[in-house]
A and B are shown apart, each in its own frame.
Chain A
Amino acid sequence: MQEARDLSGGRVDLKVATLYAALERLVTEGLIAVDGDETVDGRVRRYFRLTDAGAERLASEVARLESNARQAASRLRDRTQPRPLGTTS
């Protein structure tokens, strides 16, 4: 959760209940799997690992986001370049 907060520059502030609901859903969908429990300082800590199906889904999601970002960057570049006179956008 701390990592999510740091990576998003403080924009994403996950609550434990929300995070766990998401983890449960991902386990049900077979995208992640429980990788064991460990007791640290009297508290149970549960580890999860990405499954092959999860890695595949993540890769396709990354590709989709990259494509979206490329499109957006390309449109942004077009907007900043001067247009010939007499054309409309």
Chain B
Amino acid sequence: MTRAWTRERYRRLLRWYPAEWRERNEDAVVGMLMEQAHHDGLPSPTAVERRSLLLNGLGERFLQPQATTGPAFIAFALALLYSAWYLSLTTWAPGIHYAGAVWPFSNPTPFAVILLVAAFAAALGRRARLARLLAYSAAAGELIIWALGAGQGWLGPSLFAALVFSGLAVCAGGAPPSRRQLVKPVLALALVLAAAFAAPQIPPRIALLFMPGVFDDMPLPTLLVYVVLPLIALVGVPVLLVSALVLVRSPGSRRNEAREQVDSAG
């Protein structure tokens, strides 16, 4: 096990930390870890070191009080706009009374929206850590409401609606430091939404294609427009998103490649 190999192990462990933190500190921390490993005669990271880097990295990523950034405010704005639309047009039902209703709404989503509004207020008040915790709570709360609603047969929220809300709330709470670093989370969210939308629709459409007699009298252009193209889109969009996620490299990975070239040259 060479020194470059050990260095690479430590660099990989530092991926638990946010990219912006690694940009600032990675070289110095890897140097310190290498020095410690050399002093203790250890060829590779110990289990204690791995755990410590994991916990501190996640803490730095999710709990540290970083300022709420421009992209995070955009995510807040989108989440609040979506909430306003969802509450006013989809769940507004003052005439409905049942166990899952929170008058005048048809399901308990307003509780998650209240948490999101509180997160936004905390972000405006520069209470970044509180904003983050509230935004994550709103996201988790909406998913819990969806799970409860699905189990109890409530009138929403649908999985699609819950994922949109939670995804935007996580983006708002995550406070990504630059637009470039927002690309991957947005692509991942789009992929989850596309998959959630497409998954229930693909099997019946395929079954319909093989059902005898269904398309016998349908002209080919109509068949293409109404059956084949939607099916291609349902499969193709998630595949395209997966490809984009694989191809889009984070700034950190480009930096690491440059370092690897320097390491191998040295």
A contact set with B: CB distance below 8 Å: 1-2, 15-21, 24, 37, 42-46
Contact = CB atoms under 8 A, between A and B. Distances in A.
Interface in B28-48: 28-36, 39, 48
B49 A44 contact: no
Nearest to B28: A46
Contact of A20 (B25, B27, B49, B55): B25
Contacts of A16: 29, 32-33, 36, 49, 52-53
B167 interface: no
21 contacts: A2-B39, A15-B52, A16-B36, A16-B53, A17-B49, A17-B57, A20-B29, A21-B60, A37-B27, A37-B28, A42-B3, A42-B266, A44-B27, A44-B28, A44-B30, A44-B31, A45-B28, A45-B31, A45-B35, A46-B28, A46-B32
B59 interface: yes
Contacts of A24: 25
A37 to B, nearest CB: 6
Nearest to A1: B36
Given A1-B36, A45-B31, A21 B56 contact: yes
A37 B3 CA distance: 20
Q: Which of A2, A17, A20 has the most CB of B within 10 A?
A: A17
Contacts of B56: 17-18, 20-21
Contact of B49 (A1, A15, A21): A15
A46 B244 CA distance: 38
B11 to A, nearest CB: 12
B32 to A, nearest CB: 5
For the complex of A and B, the 10 pairs showing the least CB-CB separation, nearest first, are A43-B31, A46-B28, A17-B56, A44-B31, A44-B27, A15-B52, A17-B52, A17-B53, A43-B34, A44-B28
A6 B39 CA distance: 14
A22 B257 CA distance: 29
A77 to B, nearest CB: 42
Q: Which of B29, B31, B49 has the most CB of A within 10 A?
A: B31
A15 B31 contact: no
Given A45-B35, A46-B31, 5 more contacts: A16-B29, A17-B52, A21-B59, A43-B34, A44-B30
A20 B24 CA distance: 12
Interface string B229-246: 000000000000000000
A44 B7 CA distance: 12
A16 B145 CA distance: 41
A33 B59 CA distance: 22
Contacts of B33: 16
Nearest to B4: A42
A56 B60 CA distance: 28
B52 A18 contact: yes
